[in-house]
Chains A and B, each alone.
Chain A
């Protein structure tokens, strides 16, 4: 069933997101919560979050394109915030000369409008020079407050880089969601 299939995918995304940020033990605890929550869903009159979330994801994908990473509607930028590295001498998964990709990142899920598939995107910052200042974009799909750091796009994602000065934002594919 189409609806069920999409909902499964949503849950899988959530599980993968959680997997990225928690230890195995707390992951199991969180999955338990998630499954308990799921069991409740059919008795609710409206699957409000699911419906809205799918609608928004599809909305971004509808207006997204896959050819020009200097534009804010490039498909991988569904939850990005900052200056696009593609406008600064780099690319969606390349840091501009003299800057360094953070080994840490937060992870979002974007739909590629060409194949209709959802992909996990690692939003890594390129670090070590002052702001690039070009192509400022802000997208908020799935973005959460900083107390859920691995889903937040305001944090300077330069943990582990040689230097934590923010230069620009990149969006590398790290898997299929």
Chain B
């Protein structure tokens, strides 16, 4: 700062003191409530979050109007307030360590913003300070798409991050997040996305409506096993956003027309065990169907499945949900219909005994509902530009 500027600033400070002085003389601070008396000089600190709460939700905003500069907000569902944010790159994906102490971000950068050399990287963030602590480069790149959760996932136990890649050949990059080391890319021709099925195994969805099961060794050698189709990928495809429960060893996928396919995870393989419909004849007559983006959530402690539903014809599969339908995943009985004032494209459910439902709308609002009381705890409006995905600890 130049001496001239410094003098001007000093004058400003002096003015401020001068202006405040008569007020202080006149009123003093005696008799005022304690909280009304400000510290004359306070220390400026930076907040840390501490251990992750099951009631926090991590909201990924790809920021459609400025795709190269995306964000992840951390929101406390109890207070319905933002408690932190991290900056992320071009169409990123994230994964939370099982205890939420680390956030892994798979992201893409160009060295001059929209130009220059491309780098694909997994960045490690401390879940408490929200500061980047390291990175691992993905040499084969990653899948560039409007972010979907199964673009990247942690294996059971959280040792390996799997990052799907389409360039347009399809591979899965494996990163050891403990050693912070790139392991390999596993080529799985034609199949997409990653659904973990074990500590070193995952499944993918293939164009013919089948799973392919992949297992790998710590050195990166892989075994790939095909399966038979379990759904009609021409007439009634399943949505990409299936849910996998590590805790219960089961996974659920739902189709455009409302069929649920339940898989049991056995020896690192997806075994489709049952299929049933979300819809009764009466529901179909009213044109109810599943839809949205991250349209399904599973609450492992109560075996409940949550699905966003709207009324519409075929090819409305990304339309926002008017209601969340709640099903008993064992009896397939519909337990509840939760109407949404803000129609939503994405839902998550916290994995504790007193679960919260988080619902994102296309108007960038987050609604938090206490599933115990059914009460709306709050609505956070203006949460970024285009929030699309939500993550909770212990999914």
Interface set of A (CB-CB < 8 Å, partner B):
14, 34, 37, 49, 52-53, 55-56, 59, 104, 128-131, 133, 136, 138, 140-149, 154-156, 158-159, 163-166
Contacts and interface: CB of A to CB of B under 8 A. Distances in A.
Contact of A131 (B64, B148, B206): B64
B314 A144 contact: no
B318 A138 contact: yes
Contact of B240 (A56, A133, A146, A158): A146
A159 B167 contact: yes
A52 B264 CA distance: 33
B115 interface: yes
Contact of B91 (A141, A145, A156): A156
Given A145-B239, A147-B205, A158 B67 contact: no
Contacts, number: 97
Interface in B215-253: 233-235, 237-240
A176 B114 CA distance: 36
Q: Is the interface of B mostly helix, strand, loop or mixed?
A: loop
Measured as residues with beta carbon below 8 angstroms from the partner, the interface class of chain B is 35 or more
A142 B315 contact: yes
Contacts of A164: 108, 118, 144
A156 B114 CA distance: 14
Interface of B: 64-68, 90-91, 108, 110, 113-115, 118, 143-146, 148, 166-168, 191-193, 204-207, 233-235, 237-240, 313-318
Nearest to A138: B318
Given A104-B168, A130-B66, A53 B314 contact: yes
Nearest to A141: B315
Given A146-B192, A147-B206, A163-B115, A130 B67 contact: yes
The 6 closest A-B pairs by CB, nearest first: A147-B192, A156-B144, A147-B205, A154-B146, A133-B65, A140-B315
Contacts of A138: 318
A110 B250 CA distance: 40
Nearest to A134: B65
Contacts of A37: 234
Given A156-B144, A163-B110, A55 B207 contact: no
Contact of B67 (A131, A144, A155): A131
Contacts of A143: 315, 317-318
A136 B105 CA distance: 27
A43 to B, nearest CB: 16
A156 B145 contact: yes
**Among B110, B144, B193: residue with most chain A CB under 10 A:** B144
A144 B237 contact: yes
A144 to B, nearest CB: 6
A79 B166 CA distance: 22
A13 B65 CA distance: 34
